[in-house]
Amino acid sequence: MSETDGLLDRYEGSLLGVFGRPTLVLEHGDGCWVWDVDGVPYLDLLGGIAVNALGHNHPDLVAALSAQVARQIHISNFFTSRPQIALAERLMNLAGAPDGSRVFFTNSGTEALEAAIKLARRTGRPGIVAMDGAFHGRSTGALALTAKPAYREPFEPLLPGVRRVPYADLPALERALTPDVGAVVLEPIQGEAGVIVPPADYLRGVRELTADRGVLMILDEVQTGIGRTGRWFAFQDSGIRPDAMTLAKGLGGGIPIGALVTFGGAVSGLLAPGMHGSTFGGNPLAATAGLTILDVIARDDLLANARRVGDGFADAVRALGHPLVTEVRGRGLLRAIGLAGDFAAKAAASAREAGFLVNAVTPNALRIAPPLIISAKKIAAFVDALGDILDATASEHS
């Protein structure tokens, strides 16, 4: 029996079964590569689901975190630290947030959404409009905004007052904005729905409708933020500014940290002293991770790299002209390969056998969200192998 099988048996005997049996036991990483416990290398094109922005064991992150571990890890939110303040300032600056904007730090995307829900409730109008296909997390509040019935139904009734409209449908949104609605929550590109990019003018349309009705526009940038789509935040492609946004995944490069950014004094003032809190949120270690990630993305111009390598990947997959590929969606280094049937799980398994980590984001789409440091050459190795991977899947499939 391999190391892997033995460890996975122990996993199943000890971990709650919510994730099913994992496919690999990973031991270490370096850049865009990871190795399993049997010594098998994989090119990591998933990046811990859009988390490992700098890949694995990036020297700057290792150095900054090592120094911070030796200095101070945690202090509670009765106190603050230089990295926490600097990270909040940096995020507001990168987001072009106006005077009066503020940041609340959390430990995950879900918790950032919980803070956003409390912000929305403070408008005094309990209704929240969320989107079909949306994913906002699994805690009971965030789950009320998440669309997938299989995630929601075992736990209903959830938070009341949430109503759902089709994504990228402005007339439907307009009809849903009744006087009891305080906020609209949406992803600028829907990640878990399969990397769904709305039409170019959609976010602007949402901005106009919500501004007109005095409704908060809350963007969930947990997956799209921190350079993933080739901008610091995906909304920056549409020339609008939301009232609030949530961040997490790429922000800490793997150290748990999330954030709610509130834009402008009126929105920030909705959450007054005592109205929210967190023990760990924004502790000096996590904040140092966030600062280092932002520093390296800026220094190494990884936004441009994400655009260039991501566009090159999409063009190359299209150029393959493989009959099982229906389309390539996404922006920057958040991409999905649409497949001509529900065999994405099998395709992800054959990719793994060929040494590439990708995921079946939906039954008929493969997602890649690799480290932002990835080179065109590395990703080209996957494109070169993709034809064989899909052919293997198809022969198994038929």
Ligand X SMILES: *Cc1c(COP(=O)(O)O)cnc(C)c1O
Question: Counting contacts by CB under 6 A, is residue 106 touching ligand X?
Answer: no
Q: Which of 108, 359, 364, 393 binds ligand X (CB under 6 A)?
A: 108
Nearer to ligand X, 55 or 191 (CB): 191
CB of residue 186 to ligand X, shortest distance in Å: 9
Question: Counting contacts by CB under 6 A, is residue 44 touching ligand X?
Answer: no
Question: Counting contacts by CB under 6 A, is residue 194 touching ligand X?
Answer: no
CB of residue 233 to ligand X, shortest distance in Å: 12
Question: Counting contacts by CB under 6 A, is residue 229 touching ligand X?
Answer: no
Which one of the spans 66-74, 76-84, 107-115, 205-213 is the region binding ligand X (CB under 6 A)?
A: 107-115
Sites for ligand X among residues 242-271 (CB under 6 A):
248-249
Q: What is the 3-state secondary structure (H, E, C) of the chain?
A: CCHHHHHHHHHHCCCCHHHCCCCCCEEEEEECEEEECCCCEEEECCHHHHCCCCCECCHHHHHHHHHHHHHCCCCCCCCCCHHHHHHHHHHHHHCCCCCCCEEEEECCHHHHHHHHHHHHHCCCCCEEEEECCCCCCCCHHHHHHCCCHHHHHHHCCCCCCEEEECCCCHHHHHHHCCCCEEEEEECCCECCCCCECCCCCHHHHHHHHHHHHCCEEEEECCCCCCCCCCCCCHHHHCCCCCCEEEECHHHHECECCEEEEECCHHHHCCCCCCCCCCCCCCCHHHHHHHHHHHHHHHHCCHHHHHHHHHHHHHHHHHHHCCCCEEEEEEECCEEEEEECCCCHHHHHHHHHHCCEECEEEECCEEEECCCCCCCHHHHHHHHHHHHHHHHHHHHHHC
Q: Which of 36, 187, 237, 243 binds ligand X (CB under 6 A)?
A: 187
Nearer to ligand X, 223 or 350 (CB): 223
Question: Counting contacts by CB under 6 A, is residue 329 touching ligand X?
Answer: no
Which one of the spans 57-65, 131-139, 277-285, 327-335 is the region binding ligand X (CB under 6 A)?
A: 131-139
Q: Which of 68, 110, 236, 359 binds ligand X (CB under 6 A)?
A: 110
Question: Counting contacts by CB under 6 A, is residue 335 touching ligand X?
Answer: no
Nearer to ligand X, 31 or 370 (CB): 370
Question: Counting contacts by CB under 6 A, is residue 231 touching ligand X?
Answer: no
Nearer to ligand X, 127 or 137 (CB): 137
User: Which residues belong to the active site?
Assistant: 135, 220, 249
Closest-approach residue to ligand X (CB): 109
Nearer to ligand X, 249 or 378 (CB): 249
Interface ranges with ligand X (CB under 6 A): 108-110, 113, 135-137, 187, 191-192, 220, 222-223, 248-249
